[in-house]
Amino acid sequence: MADMTSNPEILAAALDEFLDHDVELIIYGRSSIALGFDDAPTETLKTLDIDAIVKMDSLKAFEADNNFWEAKEKVNERFEDKGLYITHIFAEEQVFLRKSWADHIVPVTRPVTTHLKLFRPATVDLVLTKMMRGDDQQDMDDAAFLIRHDRISTEQLEAAFATANLTDTIELHDAFERAKPLVLSFAAEFDYSID
């Protein structure tokens, strides 16, 4: 990672500053790449927001956590002039993930925080999330990085596709199908499986 402080680091540190108790946040999108991978592409460090996923069994408690929501608003107010913000908080059923995704989340240790405990989905789950907008160039660039970084094979991807929880939205299903051949081609290019 470059020596510069990334936008997601700035946002996460500020959120931590406003929290008065421990909060677990499972981040995804470009912020999860910027914070969760040491050699993240430079463009991910410049992402303007942090998106997060909430497990269904934590949703009610999360929604009732007034300190978190107040902290989120304070962060957004602080950085409004810079266009930085903590934005979408999605319930897990709204995001393409494997059924067992929550069993495989990975701790994110950057930046160092007191109350904010950051995690990201496993890399193969992050690839699934990148397929929600179909063949979007930015998302496909991110998917290629993720596949290369963790040497994800076509076999691993096919297994993930077979167990993915897809939303009921037809447009998102169509997008997922458009992304499949591209994502599989990345895995074929970087396929390290032994025959």
On whether both 111 and 133 belong to a single domain, the answer is no
Is 191's pLDDT higher than 80? no
On whether both 3 and 53 belong to a single domain, the answer is yes
- Give pLDDT, residue 87: 87
43-65 pLDDT, tens digit per residue, is 999 999 999 999 999 999 999 99
On whether both 68 and 16 belong to a single domain, the answer is yes
6-40 pLDDT, tens digit per residue, is 999 999 999 999 999 999 999 999 999 999 998 99
Mean pLDDT of the chain: 92
On whether both 93 and 129 belong to a single domain, the answer is no
Contact 110, 35 (CB under 8 A): yes
On whether both 26 and 37 belong to a single domain, the answer is yes
Total domains in the fold of the chain: 2
On whether both 41 and 99 belong to a single domain, the answer is yes
- Residue that terminates a domain, selected from 121, 144, 160: 121
Q: Which residues of 9-29 are buried (b: 16+ CB within 10 A; e: fewer)?
A: bbbbbbbbebbeeebebbbbb
On whether both 104 and 175 belong to a single domain, the answer is no
- Residue that terminates a domain, selected from 72, 100, 121: 121
On whether both 127 and 52 belong to a single domain, the answer is no
More confident residue, 61 or 191: 61
On whether both 39 and 84 belong to a single domain, the answer is yes
On whether both 145 and 159 belong to a single domain, the answer is yes
- Residue that terminates a domain, selected from 99, 121, 143: 121
Is 67's pLDDT higher than 70? yes
How far is it, in rounded angstroms, from Cα 37 to Cα 28? 12
Is 3's pLDDT higher than 70? no
Residue 39 identity (one-letter amino acid): D
Domain of 112, in residue numbers: 1-121
On whether both 86 and 131 belong to a single domain, the answer is no
- Give pLDDT, residue 170: 83
Q: What is the pTM of this model?
A: 0.92
How far is it, in rounded angstroms, from Cα 109 to Cα 113? 8
On whether both 31 and 98 belong to a single domain, the answer is yes
